[in-house]
């Protein structure tokens, strides 16, 4: 009897610079999909930096020789991997699919070797050029276009297929010249994130989760609450770390002394915060999807989302009442929800329903189908 092709075991190499202790969405998403693939009996090699573990190929770490960039990367817990040609070839010869996650030196080398070995190469559009440019203080439009030109020509257009976490991401990469086939696969949210019906904090608490980085704009939230007529009754929880932590701390001490708490927590510990807060606010101007938004939704936490031309996150808003563009709009919407607790309860129901389409089981099934289509 011939083997059922739907049950064929996949052999995949996940290629990414950082894997072990990173807090960025690309790494967390890769860790989750890797776990699911292995649980289903598929063979997955991790090609990255970090500590030794089974089926992991360890590469040397390095930082660029620029102290400012090194400091930023360290605060974001990201490090580059130096490609080892022999290790890459040996690993790629054992797999059916090579999946590259970052558009850096390792990804470039992985694509070149995959092509020489005639192996299918998949890339994921995890990082927008604006994220890279903003974090090193470069915002000139021609620099953004140059970065995208490099991404497209050296990585995405040399891939057999590009995975995009959202329709926005697919549209954006095509706008900059990607001609390779694309498929939309959400990063998905795991079943760990759910409404646990925990008692809320005693004071009205607004939560935001993400790197303390330029494009995340957590200062919007601090300023908005500081302008609220209920500011003395509102607390803010900011979970994350990054190069703007000190600046944000100073702003909070100035505008909302003793009302803003900063934490940096493992992913699983954040679930309690999602469940105990009253409202989630996402201020980022640049996002290809936003995993924290789906996590908040899955925990039944209503979300106010920044409406930006460079962000996909607005796709999650229930309606325009949950979108804002300015600090003043955010203040007004926070005040309204503070005054109308029933509106928060109604939004909770709506978001719990909406998040079902983003469950990781759906994304995993689509990922496996995508891999098999390239064999």
Residue 149 covered by a domain? yes
- Sheet containing strand 260-263, strands side by side: 260-263, 234-239, 204-209, 279-282, 303-306, 323-324
Same domain, 309 and 299: yes
pTM reported for the whole predicted model: 0.91
Mapped onto helix, strand or coil, the DSSP state of residue 359 is strand
Share above pLDDT 90 across residues of the chain, in percent, rounded to a whole number = 82
47, pLDDT greater than 60: yes
Residue 20 covered by a domain? yes
Per the structure block, which two tokens stand in for 44?
């997955």
| Tokens 């950082």 found at | 18
List pLDDT tens digits, range 320-334: 999 999 999 999 999
> Which residues sit opposite 208 in a β-bridge?
238
DSSP string of 318-336?
SSGGGEESSHHHHHHHHHH
Same domain, 21 and 44: yes
Same domain, 224 and 323: yes
Of the candidates 255, 278, 275, the one whose C-alpha atom is nearest the C-alpha of residue 337 is: 278
Residue 158 covered by a domain? yes
Same domain, 166 and 18: yes
Residue 50 covered by a domain? yes
Q: How many helices (H) and strands (E) does the chain have?
A: 14, 15
Same domain, 30 and 60: yes
- Per-residue pLDDT, 4: 43
Confidence class for position 79, pLDDT limits 50, 70, 90 = confident
Same domain, 327 and 224: yes
Residue 195 covered by a domain? no
Residue 24 covered by a domain? yes
Residue 351 covered by a domain? yes
> Which residues sit opposite 238 in a β-bridge?
208, 262
Same domain, 214 and 325: yes
Same domain, 353 and 368: no
Same domain, 276 and 364: no
Task: Count how many domains the chain has.
Answer: 2
Residue 212 covered by a domain? yes
Same domain, 130 and 161: yes
Same domain, 11 and 158: yes
The DSSP output letter for 20 is: S
Q: Give the domain range for residue 86.
A: 5-188+359-373
Q: For strand 60-62 and strand 80-82, is the pairing parallel, antiparallel, or unpaired?
A: antiparallel
Mapped onto helix, strand or coil, the DSSP state of residue 24 is coil
Same domain, 230 and 82: no
Domain at 341, CATH number: 3.40.50.2000
Report the alpha-carbon distance of residue 176 to residue 164 in Å, rounded.
14
List pLDDT tens digits, range 90-136: 999 999 999 999 999 999 999 999 999 999 999 999 989 888 887 76
The phi and psi torsions of 100 (rounded to 5 degrees) equal: -100, 135
List pLDDT tens digits, range 172-229: 999 999 999 999 999 999 999 999 999 999 999 999 999 898 899 999 999 999 999 9
């Amino acid at each position: 009897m011939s083997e059922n092709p739907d049950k064929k075991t996949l052999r995949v190499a996940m290629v990414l610079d950082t894997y072990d202790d990173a807090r960025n969405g690309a790494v967390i998403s890769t860790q989750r999909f890797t776990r699911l693939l292995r649980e289903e009996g598929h063979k997955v090699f991790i090609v990255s930096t970090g500590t030794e573990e089974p089926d992991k190929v360890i590469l040397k770490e390095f930082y660029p020789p620029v102290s400012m960039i090194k400091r930023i990367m360290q605060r974001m817990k990201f490090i580059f991997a130096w490609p080892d040609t022999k290790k890459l070839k040996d690993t790629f010869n054992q797999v059916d699919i090579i999946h590259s996650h970052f558009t850096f030196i390792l990804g470039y080398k992985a694509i070149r070797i995959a092509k020489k070995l005639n192996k299918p190469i998949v890339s994921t559009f995890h990082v927008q050029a604006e994220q890279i440019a903003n974090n090193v203080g470069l915002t000139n439009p021609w620099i953004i276009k140059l970065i995208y030109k490099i991404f497209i020509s050296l990585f995405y257009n040399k891939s057999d297929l590009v995975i995009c976490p959202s329709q926005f991401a697919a549209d954006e990469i095509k706008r900059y010249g990607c001609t390779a086939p694309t498929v939309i696969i959400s990063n998905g949210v795991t079943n760990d994130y759910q409404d646990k019906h925990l008692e809320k904090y005693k004071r009205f608490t607004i939560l935001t989760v993400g790197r303390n980085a330029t494009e995340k704009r957590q200062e919007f939230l601090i300023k908005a609450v500081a302008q609220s007529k209920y500011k003395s009754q509102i607390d803010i929880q900011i979970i994350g770390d990054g190069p703007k932590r000190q600046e944000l701390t100073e702003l909070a001490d100035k505008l909302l002394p003793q009302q803003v708490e900063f934490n940096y927590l493992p992913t699983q510990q954040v679930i309690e915060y999602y469940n105990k807060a009253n409202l989630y606010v996402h201020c980022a101007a640049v996002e290809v999807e936003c995993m924290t938004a789906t996590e908040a939704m899955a925990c039944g936490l209503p979300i106010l989302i920044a409406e930006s031309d460079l962000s996909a996150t607005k796709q999650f808003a229930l309606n325009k009442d949950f979108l804002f563009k300015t600090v003043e709009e955010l203040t007004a919407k926070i005040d309204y929800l503070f005054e109308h607790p029933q509106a928060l309860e109604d939004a909770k129901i709506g978001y719990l329903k909406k998040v079902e389409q983003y469950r990781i089981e759906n994304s995993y099934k689509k990922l496996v189908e995508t891999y098999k289509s390239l064999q």
